[in-house]
Amino acid sequence: MSYDVVKIAIADDHPLFRTALIQAAAKTLSHSEILEAESFAELQQLLNHHDDLELIFLDINMPGNDGFSGLSRIKNAYPDIQVIMVSAIEDGKVIGRAIDLGASGYIPKSSSLEQISRAIETVLNGETWVPEGILVVENDGPEKVLAAKLETLTPAQFNVLQMICDGLLNKQIAYEMNIQETTVKNHVSAILQKLSVNNRTQAGLIYQQLKSIEQQSESLL
């Protein structure tokens, strides 16, 4: 199948797997531009400077990516970008969680180039790709509920929520974001309302769930 030029970002701190993804993309797409990032901070820089990214491969354990928080940040700020999670974890529950939180696909790092190529083609065709031979477990719904709540936040509110989770006070958040403290307070009020919680501690716990999902996943390795 032929596509127009597709701009892809590969965010993974393992050079060998980045190479495998590049080879698979070249095999699948006759015209593509591939950008690379070794950390989530580098990926954010790419997102800031390239507004035409269509597909991101995101390593679940990459530096700066706290579990599925990176996935949620991308889907919140760039809902039109397709994200394929990549991981050494091959567990149906974890794959199900990734899909519930907005991933368009999930590629185990044991996948062959042919499997990765099929994943790319499937996702670019608007479908969801999960690995063959692994029973993907449908979750009871908390991840979908969590994803739906986080989608209601603006990117600025999402940033504030992350810093609340990190324990920063309003004054510190204002300094980090270079905004007025009253603006932070307005963001916090909106966050509490959208997440249906009573205080910033409860809001921080909701964001923490994204990290706890990954902590549970790591125990499966």
Q: Which amino acid is at 60?
A: I
Same domain, 157 and 203: yes
Q: Is residue 142 part of a domain?
A: no
Same domain, 119 and 16: yes
Same domain, 118 and 167: no
Same domain, 104 and 10: yes
Same domain, 171 and 89: no
User: Tens digit of pLDDT for each residue in 98-157?
Assistant: 888 889 999 999 999 999 999 999 999 999 999 888 877 766 566 777 778 888 899 899
Same domain, 85 and 184: no
CA distance 55 to 78: 11
pLDDT number for residue 210: 73
Max CA distance (Å), the chain: 53
Give the residue-averaged pLDDT of 74-79: 89
Same domain, 95 and 156: no
Domain residues for the domain of 182 are: 152-218
Give the residue-averaged pLDDT of 85-91: 89
Q: Is residue 130 part of a domain?
A: no
Q: Is residue 214 part of a domain?
A: yes
pLDDT number for residue 7: 92
Same domain, 191 and 95: no
Q: Is residue 136 part of a domain?
A: no
Number of structural domains (the chain) is 2
pLDDT number for residue 181: 94
pTM: 0.80
Report the CATH number at residue 195: 1.10.10.10
Same domain, 117 and 172: no
Q: Is residue 144 part of a domain?
A: no
CA distance 15 to 103: 22
CA distance 124 to 142: 27
DSSP letter at 112? -
Same domain, 116 and 19: yes
Let me know how many helices (H) and strands (E) the chain has, helices first: 10, 5
Strands (DSSP E) found in 81-214:
82-87, 105-108
Q: Percentage of the chain with pLDDT > 90?
A: 48
Same domain, 98 and 190: no
Same domain, 28 and 77: yes
User: Tens digit of pLDDT for each residue in 191-213?
Assistant: 999 998 999 888 888 888 776 65
